[in-house]
């Protein structure tokens, strides 16, 4: 959780720029002897892969992941297993189109990290956003696939619950629909409407934001490291660290401010010898510790800054100018944030689980 | 950012339970030679102190802070200064009313951390919430006062922008009003209305939530540690770690999802030789790095769980029961979260500043 | 392991100066439900306490420890237990003699941290060494007493194996003798001789160094976090962080350089179904991981810099001068380092154990 | 300093096994805009490269390093520079001889990490030592080359001061000789004798240990993070984390125990307006902070465990057996530890420098 490393016992360090040789991650602290396969990791990467339909960027990356270390195939153990040593993952950048970067080299795109990287570092790899590109999130997804191996009994499911100003109708929720549309949307009717809406956005050269909900089921009560490593605090940090995210909420979130204490309290009864909550306004977290209910996080993604319509900006030489993003254009970057949010949920939970096990046995 | 420590170079470790002997904090990594006084720290604590009006808990704590270490008064330096060694702060608990804790010892209050602490630790100091009590936030405020000394040119101002369902009218905003009402509210008209509203909530034994906005002005462009120590990610973690917080947003936040790319982009012109942003939807942060604009954070506080109306719950023995909070009652805990949010902003910024200076000189 | 905090899951943060109000420690990450008592902690502190005989400093400190938080006495649990929240320990400074500090305020004592603290911080609490005083080690001993509770099956025993140039005769080793002399010496004959030797050193106003050996028995095979959190690397860091320590070695240590590969290899046979090592040149650690043998660490303490004979030095104003330490004088500070070394061993092992349990279950 | 990451602001994470696809490092937190070249890094790697003469292992590795990220060649900046983002370094394993690993797969080599890795992880890549192989130190050397860029005014020089039982004669010391013999030995006469000695060791199939001294000149006074991040504590951890190291000492080290306080104190005079120490028993560190003198560290490397003579051991099935290392054999692994020790010195100093700059400006 400093610089380019996330986590404490389950630690993910990522590296690489959008248009460099490759991007990658080192996953450290993973328990040994977990069965692992490149194919399983690749499966999660494919969900995030660009260019799969007209609604996401047309950049064409194979996003083929390689495991460089930390696993071992022994004739005795039969099949690849983690060894407890660092697992290095590498993804080569194959679609590094040679092009003229002149404009984004010299002018700061409003809403992008161009200006702030320049202010901080005085030098930046401007090609495709460099380190600040959403391309880095592929590493998160790959690392998240490994995190899931640590907590196989936890089921993590992300979906888009709002596109632009259009929210889903929760009474239409059907988990089976999530994989049935290009938006990871659980409301089939909304997905249909979004298709029309997003086509309009795309054709107009504009972009829109989104809200993603990620739910983890099967998290036992007791995970979390109060007070500054609270489960919700780390989820907030994890989600906010994803490109373009501007807000995070747990359970009822901002809406809880408008509820009365009576409405908001999740009452409890016993059922089958276990606590049975009558509602889940808390989003499965109390005092920074999981309660055994579903852990529910939502995060807001702002509209992509790269749009085809000119915006006022300045050059690095301090002159006023206008800028237009050319070429590939992602009308709703929030769609591909769904597998990324799932991955960050997995990483936070795996790390909290290991720390919990460390302190508690 | 693990267990009970927050920060990397500027590090705050807190300890203590609501009804123990004392609470306190150790602030490590503070630069030396900063003029410091107990009175200045006390001033911030007094803003958070309970029992100051009928709208906050009637617990009566002096909240008198003592500095145990890390400062030195030398005849040559004239006046107390930091020495660069750990600054230990101690606040004694004076209002530990002897009372029967039977009910909250044995029954889990819905919405409280009772059940989850029990699930995690198997033992807890149940008196007044123990470690999970909002009392700990006094330590944050004291540590935040020291953080401000590190970045004296940054001005940090928190205020309540929503109480229960009632938002302020931003066209009434007047910074001078914030200190003029018991709600840290910049809209004098709203404050008047809230008074009536909150009296009703209080008398009915209920509670309500709130939304707090914290703005830091004077933050230079360039602070932030991408990608996992992004300025916004750490602010999200910092605010979410405050008791009862369920959501955090930066700048436009969740509302940005509904904006178009054109609307959301903060256009830039040159003015007096500097970048001049035409708007601040980004909340002063791009790519996890400060842009030089105001840093704007909002967080939602849920309604206090301790209410005077009975709620269904279970006992630690697994039996159904009802529970009512007795005694002191805080109808809107969000009010006292204002100085706490300011303190966390100060701590995050001081830490990021030192890390920035470490890497960049 | 940064600034004033040691450890990862079991974390110790210390604060306080030699002549300030108090010194103390916050122990975070301790497992809950461990029976704990002030008396047990005090017992370890008493071993380190100054002024117990003519061979240690005549400073008179009660070194009475108070527990401020993190423990709970419940009528049900009967007796004090840890709660899993931060345990704050406080020791008041009672022997802060009012005296003229003029000389050590203005002149740098050779071999002391005076000059370097001044170079780094530009300000320092010069009274009695301030933060750099060996007084801080009382906090380590108190924290170490808690660490022992985490691994009660591990037995940790420190002893002096060399005073000045005089080594013990290992053929005389008798663990029972360690408590029978003021030097924690397992060789009764050597202890007798040291008494005469140290009286001479003391009376001449000089000082001497020492070598301490700390052995931990009962450490299971498998603890250690390779490659940069190796068990031996952390022991080296832990011991070297104690005041006046200039060298650390594991097992055969520096002597291993002179052995052949055949001599140095600890051969293994099976015995009672377990590996039985034929020797322990490795000091119980292979590849940074415990082997199940005794963990053996030695560290060298330099002679106390505070001596009664004048030494050439400079003033903070950059003038040549001579300096003599006045008043209390500790002829062999290594003696009191024995319980400190034991404490650091306990802290390293407790932390490594929790991390091992985190990763491995 | 946990798992596979070393450092705080300047952080090095390494990955990879001896006979896997590749090994590598991610260097995070490096300041931007430092001129960097693959050739400069390769130069340091070549000093450590195996198979350069008959005295080191005959494994033939090109050890060709690639930079995957964190640098940028811009037409404007002319030449490769660091960008402040993570620098990933990759070294492919080219000499992975296909061979029968049967014996070391099933039997634990005495003195190796085989047994402890098995005890900890229950699975290990046994080929060539896997993660515990000295091959990992190539990553340290590459990372160290980058660390040197951060503190170009510091000169770091390592040399062998003892081989087996044979120490150099310090009166023969000549820095220019260090590069003139295969042992990094500053004493030409000793180097000659060592040649004969080591040939004998090699031919007998045995091995010997060594002591390495690393000296850093040009370190300003003031670096170090007392009390648990002391400069000497981190150097101790850094050196002890190198394969086969069993002891670390600073300055006079263990010999200081035999000195009197008068002898050991480094007296100070003013010279050219600066403190001028009359000796350097302290090894350039007082109270964990650099004094401005040369920083002097020595560490002991045990004799290689892989020898051609049979040793008693057990199998993973718990049966007694004998084992002999076959094939390549490194009679004095300490030789190649010289550039590794230099690299760890550079990494510790670069990290301490950045942290110092963070706190102090």
The single-letter DSSP state of residue D107 is B
CB neighbours of residue A69 within 10 Å: 26
Show which of residues 131-190 on chain A sit within 8 Å of chain B, judged by CB atoms. Answer: 131-132, 136, 162, 164-165
Distance from CA of C67 to the nearest CA of B (A): 9
ipTM of the complex: 0.97
| Contact state of C361 with A357 under an 8 Å Cβ cutoff | yes
Show which of residues 15-74 on chain D sit within 8 Å of chain B, judged by CB atoms. Answer: 29-32
pLDDT of residue B78: 78
Q: Judge whether D161 and D56 are in contact, CB under 8 Å.
A: no
Q: Which residue has the higher pLDDT, C329 or D228?
A: D228
Residue of chain C nearest D313, judged by CA positions: C268
Q: Which residue has the higher pLDDT, A306 or B227?
A: B227
| Contact state of A359 with C354 under an 8 Å Cβ cutoff | yes
- Reading the block at residue A119, the tokens are 């202010």
> How many percent of chain B have pLDDT more than 70?
95
**For the residues C21-36, what does the mean pLDDT come to?**
97
The single-letter DSSP state of residue D70 is S
A270-274, B100-104, C174-178, C241-245: least confidently modelled range: B100-104
DSSP one-letter string for B112-157: SSHHHHHHHHS----GGGGGGSGGGHHHHHHHHHHHHHHSTT-EEE
Residue B36 to residues B10, B29, B71, B150, D71, Cα–Cα distance (Å):
16, 15, 8, 11, 42
pLDDT at residue B105 tops 60 = yes
| Of B248, B261, B275, Cβ closest to residue A248 | B248
Give D123's pLDDT tier (boundaries 50, 70, 90): very high
Residue D249 to residues A218, A343, C212, Cα–Cα distance (Å):
51, 45, 14
Residues D260-316: tens digit of each pLDDT: 999 999 999 999 999 999 999 999 999 999 999 999 999 999 998 888 889 999 999
Among A66-75, A123-132, D107-116, D245-254, top mean pLDDT goes to: D245-254
- Reading the block at residue D52, the tokens are 């350069």
pLDDT of residue D40: 94
Number of B–D residue contacts, CB under 8 Å: 42
Residues C178-205: tens digit of each pLDDT: 999 999 999 999 999 999 999 999 999 9
Distance from CA of D345 to the nearest CA of A (A): 22
Subunits that touch chain A (at least 3 Cβ pairs < 8 angstroms)? Answer: B, C, D
Q: How far apart are CA A185 and CA A154, in angstroms?
A: 21
Residues B193-237: tens digit of each pLDDT: 999 999 999 999 999 999 999 999 999 999 999 999 999 999 999
pLDDT of residue B326: 74
Residues C219-255: tens digit of each pLDDT: 999 999 999 999 999 999 999 999 999 999 999 999 9
pLDDT of residue D213: 98
Average pLDDT score, chain C: 94
Q: How far apart are CA C2 and CA C6, in angstroms?
A: 7
| Contact state of D32 with A84 under an 8 Å Cβ cutoff | no
Residue of chain D nearest B226, judged by CA positions: D85
| Of D9, D85, D226, Cβ closest to residue B358 | D9
Contacts of D144 in chain C (CB under 8 A): none
CA atoms within 13 Å, Cβ hemisphere of C335: 27
- Reading the block at residue C221, the tokens are 């095979």
Residue A106 to residues B222, B274, D74, Cα–Cα distance (Å):
18, 16, 12
Its pTM stands at: 0.97
Contacts of C226 in chain A (CB under 8 A): 85
pLDDT of residue A200: 96
> How many percent of chain A have pLDDT more than 70?
95
pLDDT at residue D53 tops 80 = no
pLDDT at residue A174 tops 90 = yes
Q: Judge whether D350 and D223 are in contact, CB under 8 Å.
A: no
pLDDT at residue C269 tops 90 = yes
Subunits that touch chain B (at least 3 Cβ pairs < 8 angstroms)? Answer: A, C, D
pLDDT at residue B32 tops 80 = yes
Residues A135-157: tens digit of each pLDDT: 999 999 999 999 999 999 999 99
Distance from CA of B357 to the nearest CA of D (A): 5
Residues A201-215: tens digit of each pLDDT: 999 999 999 999 999
pLDDT of residue C99: 64
Give A117's pLDDT tier (boundaries 50, 70, 90): very high
Give A305's pLDDT tier (boundaries 50, 70, 90): confident
Disruptive mutation site among D85, D118, D130, D143 for chain A (greatest number of A CBs within 10 Å): D85
**For the residues A2-14, what does the mean pLDDT come to?**
95
- CB under 8 A, 24+ apart: contacts of C265-268: C265/D110, C265/D111, C265/D305, C265/D307, C265/D311, C266/C293, C266/D110, C266/D111, C267/D110, C267/D311, C267/D312, C267/D313, C268/D108, C268/D110, C268/D115, C268/D312, C268/D313, C268/D314
| Of D116, D300, D318, Cβ closest to residue C291 | D116
Disruptive mutation site among A13, A135, A247, A325 for chain B (greatest number of B CBs within 10 Å): A247
Number of C–D residue contacts, CB under 8 Å: 387
pLDDT of residue A54: 76
**For the residues B90-114, what does the mean pLDDT come to?**
83
Contacts of D304 in chain C (CB under 8 A): 261
**CB contact, 8 Å: C315 with chain B?**
no
pLDDT at residue D328 tops 80 = no
Helix, strand, coil distribution of chain C in percent, nearest 5:
30, 25, 45
Q: Judging by DSSP bridges, how do beta strands D80-82 and D87-92 pair with one another?
A: unpaired
**CB contact, 8 Å: A14 with chain D?**
yes
- In C36-149, DSSP assigns E strands to 65-67, 71-73, 80-82, 87-92
**CB contact, 8 Å: D236 with chain C?**
yes
| Contact state of A83 with D20 under an 8 Å Cβ cutoff | no
Residue of chain B nearest C1, judged by CA positions: B8
């Amino acid at each position: 959780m400093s610089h380019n490393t996330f986590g404490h016992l389950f630690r993910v360090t990522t590296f690489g720029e959008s248009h460099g040789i490759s991007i990658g991650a080192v996953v450290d602290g993973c328990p040994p002897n977990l069965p692992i396969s490149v194919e399983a990791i690749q499966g999660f990467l494919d969900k995030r892969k660009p260019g799969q339909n007209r609604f996401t960027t047309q950049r064409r990356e194979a996003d083929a992941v390689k495991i460089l270390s930390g696993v071992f195939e022994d004739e005795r153990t039969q099949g690849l297993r983690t060894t407890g040593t660092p697992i290095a993952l590498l993804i080569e950048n194959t679609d590094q189109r040679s092009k003229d970067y002149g404009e984004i080299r010299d002018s700061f795109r409003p809403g992008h990290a161009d200006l702030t990287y320049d202010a901080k570092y005085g030098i930046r790899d401007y090609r495709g956003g460099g380190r600040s590109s959403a391309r880095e999130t592929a590493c998160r997804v790959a690392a998240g696939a490994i995190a899931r191996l640590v907590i196989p009994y936890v089921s993590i499911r992300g979906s888009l619950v709002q596109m632009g100003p259009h929210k889903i109708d929760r009474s239409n929720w059907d988990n089976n629909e999530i994989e049935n549309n290009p938006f990871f949307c659980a409301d089939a009717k909304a997905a249909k409407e979004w298709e029309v809406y997003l086509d309009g956005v795309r054709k107009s050269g504009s972009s829109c934001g989104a809200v993603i909900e990620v739910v983890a089921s099967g998290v036992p009560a007791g995970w979390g490291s109060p007070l500054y490593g609270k489960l919700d605090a780390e989820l907030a940090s994890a989600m906010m660290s994803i490109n373009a995210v501007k807000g995070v909420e747990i359970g009822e979130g901002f809406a809880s401010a408008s509820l009365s204490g009576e409405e908001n309290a999740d009452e409890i009864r016993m059922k089958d010898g276990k606590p049975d909550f009558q509602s889940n306004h808390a989003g499965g977290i109390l005092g920074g510790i999981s309660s055994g209910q579903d852990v529910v996080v939502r995060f807001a993604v702002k509209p992509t800054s790269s749009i085809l319509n000119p915006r006022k900006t300045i050059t690095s030489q301090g002159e006023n100018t206008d800028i237009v993003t050319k070429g590939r254009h992602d009308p709703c970057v929030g769609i591909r944030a769904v597998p990324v949010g799932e991955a960050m949920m997995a990483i936070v939970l795996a790390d909290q689980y290991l720390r919990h096990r460390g302190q508690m046995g």
